[in-house]
Structure 1
Amino acid sequence: MGFYGVLLCGSRQFDNHLITALVERWRRETHTFHFRCGEATITLQDISIIWGLPIDGEPVIGIDVSYRVEEWQHICLSLLGFTPLTSHFKGGHLSMTALYEYCMAAHIDDNSPDIDVVKYTLYVALMIIGGIMVPDYQGGSIRLIFLQLLRDIERIRSYSWESAVLAFLYRELCNETRIEKAIISGPLFILQVWAWSRIIFVNPDMNGLSLTVRQNEFEENIPYAPYGARWSNVFSYTHSPTHAVRIIRDCFDRMTNVEFNWIVYNKKDVDVKAIISTYDNRIWRCVCPLICFDIVEMHRPDRVLRQFKMRQSIPRPAVDNDNLHTVNRTCHRNTDWREYHKDAIILWNEKLSNAARGELKEWVPG
């Protein structure tokens, strides 16, 4: 399915103060962080190398059907092999507790029938999608809208899960800039690893441990654990600010070019090389819409060409995205999002023809 890299990266405790300071630097109209040394952002390249998710494929989108609880129970039984209790449902969400209890009770071994193995595998995939990649802001529940994409286990890898993750993260960052928003969700592991990798003064010490690159024996296309697995070691924050938003804000205010790593990924590293050799690198520089059902957010690598070892040119004017931010599932129940966002899907399918270009240069900080 392409999700194994996410499992290898595991999870970490988030520094909410660092995330708060980053949100304060986020701009909804450009989808970039505005630092003193220039604009920077999380791109498709970052998601691809950190988690190793599939990128080039169909958008993660479908029909948003409002099923009754009884219908959701039938769907869970047919796809996942168990029937959650009525109390475990809340609208189109399923309690994480129900999935955990099923996981503990299920018994899968080498003698299990293939159908049982497939159902258990789909359950694990739903946990990864709804619990790690696009976690629900309500906490403790998973959105069942993704089940429709899991019906055919052979097609799951054909979707661009990477662009869906980035779209969801962009939307959460944009929503969090509103004064009335107090809780941020989304793949915060990606946001934190991105900040640690690029912003020198928030980078934790590795305690003398080497960066671990674990062999992945199950994936043919991703032979090594992705870059994000490096950050599974135990860290020390002796020389970096943590859990102190005022100090991090002050550091951001004074940050210079030499304190920001524009070029992070080394092609000679086996975990990075394994990802880079898989794709046409133009796909990471595509100025295109990112789609995740109701969410459509623009990807603007043309504003951060220095992250691609290119000279930054004057980018296209920023576009007001507020009309997209008002679109959500609450106001559009039983919507076929493939039809609603058909123009965005066309642009996504033509993305390689709209890759940002720039003059390559040997980047020298400062």
Structure 2
Amino acid sequence: MYKSRTHLRLLKEWQPVDAVIQRLEGTGFDLVHRINMDYRTTIDFLLALIDHYSVDLSCFIIGDQRITPKLDDVARITGFPIDVLPVLGRDYKANECPDVCNELLLSPELLHPKKRCDVILRKLLPFKNILPVLVGAGLDPYVRAYVLYVIGCFLTPPRGHSSVPCMYLSLLRDVDAIRNYAWGAALLCQLHHSMAEFKRAMIDGKNPQVMSFCAPFLTVFFYEHIPIIPCTLYDVDIYKENFEERELFSIFPLMMGWSHAVERKSKNSYIKKKREEFDVMLTNENIVWQPYARLPDNFLPHYLVG
């Protein structure tokens, strides 16, 4: 059974309080809670996309055209920064991790019993219960825990579903500096790395099962560029003038509008398609090369405008 390691339903368990959202303003992490966590990711669609992915060219081949998500797509769809410092965490040694967790997350008990350099995602959940009196530096461990949780569930989900590497904590020490890292670039890097890894395993006949990338981002990218797909699956046509929810698709970040519209439509009109049926839609003629032309000039907030 194929699985995507993007855990929107796990994210649904943690709705951050206003104080945390305010501390994370301008980081992209402050926007994640606005996504509809019931958003449907179609595994057969992801498998069809992997069939069209070229490991050598790091892009998708649709017909005779090359198409691939770029940093600008990440910014518009997710709201994560793309053009600041690289996300290069420190690889802590196993004997260092308890002290790091104790300092930055107030407890060494969050570590995986076998993977001593990983934090167990579910052990971060108690941090969602914040005392109202906490302000300033007292709030920092709760902010770090939420960011780490989003990284493991959504941004760069690891192949193992239950934990997230401690290395990210080195980037979260200064909570006010979280906005200085290109988390969107990390998302894109993980996408291509995981796509290539999965495709190579398929070519080698290893029958891989887990896709460890931000699947909601990739699906929205292709919904934007090949609109016949959401139109066929969910009866969502963003180019139809009298489409009742058209305004949702001009709200920043684009993933928010798509997640809410698709989920509402899927309850009533979702049409399940097999993997092979998506090939009929993945053609040159169906590609829209400039889908963002409909967006206003001030669509991106200031922190994403270079």
| In structure 1, distance between residues paired with 2:267 and 2:288 | 19
1:210 to 245, 251, 254: 245
Q: Equivalent residue for 1:23? A: 50
Q: Equivalent residue for 2:69? A: 42
Paired letter, 1:6: V
Q: Equivalent residue for 1:107? A: 130
1:74 aligns with 2:109: no
Q: What's the TM-score once normalised by structure 2's chain length?
A: 0.76
Equivalent residues of 2:111, 2:119 under 8 A apart: no
Over 3 Å counting, the alpha-carbon distance change for 1:213 and 1:76 in structure 2 is farther
> Could you say what secondary structure the match of 1:58 adopts?
coil
1:151 to 173, 183, 187: 173
1:32-51 residue CA offsets vs partner (Å, 9 max, x unmatched): 11111511111111100001
1:228 aligns with 2:278: no
Equivalent residues of 1:77, 1:83 under 8 A apart: yes
| In structure 2, distance between residues paired with 1:24 and 1:15 | 15
Over 3 Å counting, the alpha-carbon distance change for 1:275 and 1:107 in structure 2 is closer
- Within 5 A, what are the aligned runs for 1:318-357? none
1:167 aligns with 2:192: no
> Could you say what secondary structure the match of 2:265 adopts?
coil
1:247 to 274, 277, 280: 277
Runs of 5+ consecutive residues of structure 1 not aligned to the other structure: 216-223, 281-366
Paired letter, 1:210: E
Look at both structures and tell me which one has the larger radius of gyration over its CA atoms: 1
Paired letter, 1:103: F
Equivalent residues of 1:48, 1:275 under 8 A apart: no
Instruction: Please state which structure has a larger fraction of its residues in helix.
Output: 2
Q: Equivalent residue for 2:117? A: 92
Paired letter, 1:235: K
Q: Equivalent residue for 2:142? A: 120
Equivalent residues of 1:56, 1:160 under 8 A apart: yes
1:252-278 residue CA offsets vs partner (Å, 9 max, x unmatched): 3xx242x111111136447x7234894
Q: Equivalent residue for 1:186? A: 213
| In structure 1, distance between residues paired with 2:76 and 2:151 | 18
Equivalent residues of 1:213, 1:225 under 8 A apart: no
- The alignment covers a number of residue pairs equal to 263
> Could you say what secondary structure the match of 1:90 adopts?
coil
Over 3 Å counting, the alpha-carbon distance change for 1:247 and 1:267 in structure 2 is closer
| In structure 2, distance between residues paired with 1:169 and 1:51 | 14
1:314-353 residue CA offsets vs partner (Å, 9 max, x unmatched): xxxxxxxxxxxxxxxxxxxxxxxxxxxxxxxxxxxxxxxx
Paired letter, 1:54: P
> Could you say what secondary structure the match of 1:242 adopts?
coil
Equivalent residues of 2:122, 2:162 under 8 A apart: yes
| In structure 2, distance between residues paired with 1:86 and 1:141 | 9
> Could you say what secondary structure the match of 2:193 adopts?
helix
Paired letter, 2:224: S
Q: Equivalent residue for 1:261? A: 288
Q: Equivalent residue for 1:199? A: 226
| In structure 2, distance between residues paired with 1:79 and 1:209 | 47
Q: Equivalent residue for 2:5? A: none
Over 3 Å counting, the alpha-carbon distance change for 1:129 and 1:277 in structure 2 is closer
| In structure 2, distance between residues paired with 1:27 and 1:276 | 35
Q: What's the TM-score once normalised by structure 1's chain length?
A: 0.65
| Residues 239-248 or 135-144, more deviating | 239-248
Paired letter, 1:56: D
| In structure 2, distance between residues paired with 1:163 and 1:229 | 19
Paired letter, 1:177: K
> Could you say what secondary structure the match of 1:94 adopts?
strand
Over 3 Å counting, the alpha-carbon distance change for 1:237 and 1:40 in structure 2 is farther
| In structure 2, distance between residues paired with 1:268 and 1:195 | 17
Q: Equivalent residue for 2:163? A: 141
Q: Equivalent residue for 2:81? A: 54
Over 3 Å counting, the alpha-carbon distance change for 1:124 and 1:85 in structure 2 is closer
| In structure 1, distance between residues paired with 2:281 and 2:83 | 37
| In structure 2, distance between residues paired with 1:13 and 1:172 | 20
